[in-house]
Structure 1
């Protein structure tokens, strides 16, 4: 059953502050876009889902693309912030990897299905959408690469390549996990992938260790 079928239509006529109304419209639009995709969704569907008239909807969003872009911006920023928070949550790199993987699994598990707008959009031929989808992958990888570059002896280009591999692994495995029916609990699934990622990234020595090894080699 789709999110639209599961949720009863909102009653019409309720007056809300502008910000609350905008959030209500975004929530309704997300349900429709996730269930139907961009092309099949109609502004009529979104207005009905929100329990408002089309003129009210158009007061806040001039068109369907504007509404879609507002949602995309919101959820792209949410994932980027989640990754940054994960990286900043500890100075232990093994725990950083685990927290970052879990951030992706949590994002994908979100019951609103926001990840489908970011990673499975049917509108990637629209340049503005493609730009935002690319941006979220790039900025998440850049955040990870900064930590790798700081903590290892890897140059920026290599650190970015490693970070892209790690974030790509997180995104793809989290989506597979959800699509395959979540047969493994989320915490266990995220931990499994973080163990795999850590075994790989831990092979690159910390800068202090690399410097100590180099000094030891000079003394021998």
Structure 2
């Protein structure tokens, strides 16, 4: 998320624009403070509005958080589906799907932390939203595997769960290593692992 000048209080905005502004401010506060330490006062101040204006759009902190999860969860699923549908070559599909997850994790504003590193996973509504986003990604991959590999749905889904898990865990690890490993190289390494297994990295000095 970019650092932008906060709007002056009292500036009237169209409802949709105001909602987007409030969500952007809330995302910044949630990512940097965590859900439990975030306060509606902080979000209102970040957005440059009064608390009554904030409450006109969102009745509480949880509703704000869920709105962000829905927005970014839908965006993640859209990216993975577009990646899968971008080619009929399965090897390229694997790379594209992994690349989509890496792109999401590397995205501006650290939205991935709300989806993958939420400190509110014990809340049923949050758990449902997070699982919904992950399931959407898994569904997209499962459909492709079922159609192309002629596997039954359960086995295809197991492979899809593995690919999504591999991608999101390694992408989060890569964030701390990206000064020495580019995103393209990381995606290439993980794509090779997913496509060929460890046999894709044979011993150089057997």
TM-score after normalising by structure 2: 0.91
Once the two structures are TM-superposed, the CA of residue 8 in structure 1 deviates from its matched residue by: 4.8
Partner residue, 1:16: 13
Partner residue, 2:201: none
> What are the equivalent positions in structure 2 for 1:1-220 lying under 5 Å apart?
8-200=5-197
Once the two structures are TM-superposed, the CA of residue 98 in structure 1 deviates from its matched residue by: 0.8
Do 1:76 and 1:132's aligned partners in 2 also have CA atoms closer than 8 Å?
A: yes
Do 1:75 and 1:114's aligned partners in 2 also have CA atoms closer than 8 Å?
A: yes
Aligned counterparts of 1:163 and 1:86: Cα–Cα separation in 2: 14
1:2-30 deviation per Cα after TM superposition (whole angstroms, max 9, x unaligned) = x79x6554332221100000000000000
Once the two structures are TM-superposed, the CA of residue 190 in structure 1 deviates from its matched residue by: 1.0
* Unaligned runs of at least 5 residues, structure 1: 201-220
Once the two structures are TM-superposed, the CA of residue 189 in structure 1 deviates from its matched residue by: 1.0
Aligned with 2:118: secondary structure? coil
Larger deviation, residues 115-124 vs 187-196: 187-196
Aligned counterparts of 1:124 and 1:104: Cα–Cα separation in 2: 20
User: What is the RMSD of the two structures over their aligned residues, measured on CA atoms?
Assistant: 1.5
Aligned residues between the structures: 197
Once the two structures are TM-superposed, the CA of residue 72 in structure 1 deviates from its matched residue by: 0.5
Aligned counterparts of 1:109 and 1:10: Cα–Cα separation in 2: 27
1:72-113 deviation per Cα after TM superposition (whole angstroms, max 9, x unaligned) = 100011001110000001111111111101101110001201
